Structure 1
Amino acid sequence: MLRIRPLHFTSNIESWDRLLSALGLVLTEGDGGFRVFDAGSGRLALHGVPDGAAEDGTTALAVEVGDVAEFARRTNLSAADDGTTPAEMIAADHGEACRITAPDGFSFLADPAAHDAQGGGADPALAVVGVWLTEDPTSAAQTLRHVGARPRPVPDADENADFTAKNGGVLLVRPASGTPRSGLGFEYDGGLAPLRERLAAAGIEAGITEEAFGSTLHVPNPDAGAAAPHVPATVWISERRPMG
């Protein structure tokens, strides 16, 4: 199995809880300083940190798998033709995990899934999106193929690459200058106006912008103004549109 489950660090965990609940995610694990929320597709974990911490407002890409050792074996077998072994078993603070390291130096963890089923009551139209920003999108996309992510069509022939995970969530590879890093967003399978109304009912202001390949809903980021670099001003939810 493969499920997207980014880990977001924040000193504003209650504000994120409120935002995620309004978006249609449901709390399925933890409380206090660590919480896991399920969307209709994919999960998001929140990790509380002190205000001003270096990681405040940042997201670490992560996935869940059924059997960590078997996932590592299959990943390295898939990558054998490249002459690489990107998967390494490690002893993380929270237990056994697998670290995936790509040619651009970017790495992320695969953790054992705490439970297989998505949380009931989550909005089935909402998906969690993990973003990989890199100067080497070609090798990043290849690494995601090795871990079992499924390519999906993109609307143009540039360096963007989109993937889905069998057990939920979306992964996007996007070209960007500087050190490779993670980003976070959401997709909504349907019109964004009802979602904006739901957010407004929760007291959260949101605006819809029309972009080249669809509409995007922008919500104020609870972490805006955090000291960490690359913290965006808004959280985005893009409208999922079928590709031809």
Structure 2
Amino acid sequence: MSPQQHASEQATTQDTSTSMESSMSTITDLTARPIRFTADIPAWQRILETLGGVLISEHPGWLVYQLGSGRVALHASNPDQPAGRTTLPLETSTPVEQAVRIAAAAGAPIELSEQDHGTAGLVTAADGTTFTLDSPTEAPEDTPAAEPRLSVVGIWYTTTPAEARRVLTSLGARPRLIADDGVWTDLTCDGGGLMATHAADSVGAELAFEWAGNVEEAKALLDAAGIGSALIDETYSRTLQIVDPDGVKEIWINERQSDLYGYTLAEMD
């Protein structure tokens, strides 16, 4: 091989390597998939299915629902995970080991970890919040479409909202709606669903939903199924509140916000 040929081959190899690194520089199909621990899985199934969620995976004590945007997992409660608790895992189609490297390079507090369900990225935030970055739940090929107006919202209550936002953006979520006072930011996941940070005096997580359109349409679905709900007219949007099957705080379905007074819209979804 001549020196010119060798140099050309080296350049081609470097270009290919650079191209591969570039193609692996983002986490793809990031999807919000909060887990709700519950002592009443059937009641939660009834709520999700009434609102148009579609069951895509079922194992004893573990179910995953596809929504119009994002997913929800239901997990049977136990002494370590009491009824009413919510955690905030995310899914990605990027291989987990690769996704962890990408997120860590972007500044996420994440490491590869062996969990009960397999290898995952374990995020440990400064406020003590932990959640996993997982491989996606496989849906059957003949899965029907979910109600497109319903999105999942995983809410992260935190004493350090700016840091929580930084963690989520380092994983690939994109800010959408930002309160001018910094109390609230919601972020979109390109694979579906929303994550939100909410400034609070204590750390926690909550499962909520968003309805794209007139939320009274969601109320009509619930009414027809005999599921009681209260329509609340907030200053910024309207909200449905449903009694939680586990007897904790009401389940909120927020009408997609159109009044932006006091908020900045960072992107259109």
Q: Structure 1 length normalisation: TM-score?
A: 0.89
1:239 matched residue in structure 2: 255
* Correspondence for 2:131: 108
| 1:202 has 2:230 as partner | no
Question: In 1, distance between residues paired with 2:192 and 2:102?
Answer: 19
Normalised by the length of structure 2, the TM-score is 0.81
Once residues 156 and 217 of structure 1 are traced to their aligned partners in structure 2, the CA distance between those partners, rounded to angstroms, is 24
Distance 1:134 1:25 in 2: 28
| Aligned-partner Cα distance in 2 for 1:95–1:12 | 26
Does 2:34 match 1:6?
Answer: yes
- Check conservation: 2:31, 2:190, Cα contact below 8 A: yes
Map of 2:145 onto structure 1? 121
**Matching residue's letter, 1:150:** R
Q: Report runs of 4+ in structure 1 exceeding 3 Å deviation.
A: 116-119
CA distance in 1 between partners of 2:53 and 2:115 (Å): 27
Q: Tell me how far apart the structure 2 counterparts of residues 116 and 201 of structure 1 sit (CA, whole Å).
A: 28
Corresponding position of 1:227: none
Q: How does 1:60-99 map to 2 (within 5 A)?
A: 60-66=87-93, 67-79=95-107, 86-99=109-122
Are positions 1:163 and 2:219 aligned together? no
Distance of 2:140 and 2:172 partners within structure 1: 19
Q: What do you get for the CA RMSD once the two structures are aligned?
A: 1.8
**In structure 2, C-alpha distance between the alignment counterparts of 1:97 and 1:16, rounded to whole Å:** 26
Kindly state the Cα deviation for residue 90 of structure 1 after the two structures are TM-superposed: 0.5
Residue of 39, 44, 49 corresponding to 1:21: 49
Contact kept, 8 Å, 2:55 with 2:63, in 1: the verdict is yes
**Bigger Cα displacement from structure 2, 185-194 vs 53-62:** 53-62
Contact 1:138–1:159 under 8 Å retained in 2? no
Alignment of 1:28-67 (within 5 A): 28-50=56-78, 55-66=82-93, 67=95
What SS does the aligned partner of 1:14 have?
Answer: helix
Equivalent position of 1:136 in the other structure: 160
* AA aligned opposite 1:209: I
- The 1-side partners of 2:235 and 2:75 are apart by 34
Deviation readout 1:182-204 (Å, 9 max, x if unpaired): 11100000001111011011110
Structure 2 unaligned spans of 5+: 1-28
Match of 1:187 in 2: 210
Identify unmatched segments of 5+ residues in structure 1.
80-84, 225-230
Cα deviation, 1:4-37, whole Å, max 9, x if unaligned, reads 0011111100111111111110111014421101
Shift of 1:157: 3.5
| Residue in 1 that maps onto 2:171 | 147
For 1:190, give the aligned amino acid.
Answer: G
Q: Is the 8 A contact 1:25 1:38 kept in 2?
A: yes
Structure 1 residue 177 displacement after superposition? 1.1
Count how many residue pairs are aligned between Structure 1 and Structure 2.
Answer: 230
Structure (1 or 2) with the greater helix fraction: 2
Which amino acid is 2:240 matched to?
Answer: L
